[in-house]
Amino acid sequence: MKQVETTREAIINRRSVRKYKTDMIPRDIIERIVEAGDLCSKWKRTPGIYYSGSDK
């Protein structure tokens, strides 16, 4: 239940980001985000569309 509360707090306290870091996001984190998107419910069970970019 702790994870649900942490996610809920993140959504409630979300702020728009106007400055972005140039640091690369570790591949395992990107994979976890994509997996979460794939597991969420989708309208009419359509497959998800993924966009990914890396210069490395």
Along the 56 residues of the chain, how does pLDDT read in single tens digits? Answer: 677 778 888 888 877 777 778 888 888 988 888 888 777 766 666 666 666 677 76
Burial of 53 per CB tally in 10 Å (0-12, 13-18, 19+): exposed
pLDDT value of residue 44: 66
The residues, any chain, with a CB within 8 Å of residue 48's CB and separated by 6 or more, are 37, 38, 42
Note the pLDDT of residue 50. Answer: 66
46: Cα separation from own chain's centroid: 19
Spatial distance between the Cα atoms of 30 and 16, rounded to a whole number of angstroms: 20
The pLDDT assigned to 48 comes to 62
Task: Output the pLDDT for position 1.
Answer: 67
User: Tell me, what's the pLDDT at 47?
Assistant: 65
Q: Are 37 and 48 in contact (CB under 8 A)?
A: yes
Interatomic CA distance for residues 23 and 46, integer angstroms: 33
